[in-house]
């Protein structure tokens, strides 16, 4: 299965590439987006303002490729830019694939939220199977505030979406490539979901 990890100038490219190769995906890292891929990954690490510059320049092509049926996975900031807009680094537009916005965690907690924490599954589906009450790795200060249906949450002073998906788009607030066996379980679920 051919996979593109988008190089938008920031992001943790090589650890996610390694994790995806371990589950058998044919991985390319490039800034050029095209419909030749089965899966396109927006990697984590970075901030909304810097990634939104890439999004703004490539929104038309990204929407065209998504409409053509290619699946997308956004990790952390990669998920954030799938929402309508974000407040990190000013007000910046996202792709609008998920309804809502991205803002700081509004709770009396230490930021950034870094390290291992539990995720909670309210309703099981193909992507979150076997993830309930499991520990995954987080590194963020911002979360999605969304009206989209969500079955998988994290909690850090406030409940937040840990996994969003609809149609051919998936976003994770956690970093599967840094989440050990649980992260690999999610990626195994992802492969099955892609092949459905």
Closest CA to 141 of 47, 10, 55: 47
Distance (Å, rounded) from C-alpha 93 to C-alpha 55?
8
Given 113, 150, 165, 177, which residue is catalytic?
A: 177
Residue 41: strand pairing partners? 5, 73
Given 64, 76, 88, 165, which residue is catalytic?
A: 76
For this structure, is 84 an active site residue? no
Closest CA to 142 of 78, 98, 187: 78
Given 80, 140, 165, 175, which residue is catalytic?
A: 175
Residue given tokens 């058998």 in the structure block:
24
For this structure, is 64 an active site residue? no
Distance (Å, rounded) from C-alpha 30 to C-alpha 180?
26
Q: Which residues are catalytic?
A: 76, 175, 177
């Amino acid at each position: 299965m051919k996979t593109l990890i988008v190089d938008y100038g920031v992001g943790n490219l090589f650890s996610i590439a390694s994790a995806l190769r371990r589950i058998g995906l044919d991985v390319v890292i490039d800034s050029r987006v095209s419909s030749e891929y089965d899966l396109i990954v927006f990697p984590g690490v970075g901030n909304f303002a810097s990634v939104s510059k890439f999004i703004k320049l490539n929104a038309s092509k990204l929407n065209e490729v998504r409409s053509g049926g290619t699946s997308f996975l956004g990790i952390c900031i990669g998920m954030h830019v799938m929402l309508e807009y974000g407040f990190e680094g000013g007000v910046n537009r996202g792709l609008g694939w998920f309804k809502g916005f991205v803002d700081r965690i509004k709770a009396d907690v230490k930021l950034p939220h870094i390290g291992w924490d539990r995720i909670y599954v309210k309703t099981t589906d193909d992507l979150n199977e076997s993830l309930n009450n499991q520990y995954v790795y987080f590194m963020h200060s911002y979360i999605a505030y969304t009206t989209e249906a969500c079955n998988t949450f994290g909690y850090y002073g406030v409940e937040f979406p840990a996994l969003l998906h609809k149609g051919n788009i998936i976003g994770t607030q956690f970093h599967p490539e840094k989440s050990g066996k649980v992260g690999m379980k999610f990626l195994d679920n992802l492969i099955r979901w892609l092949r459905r």
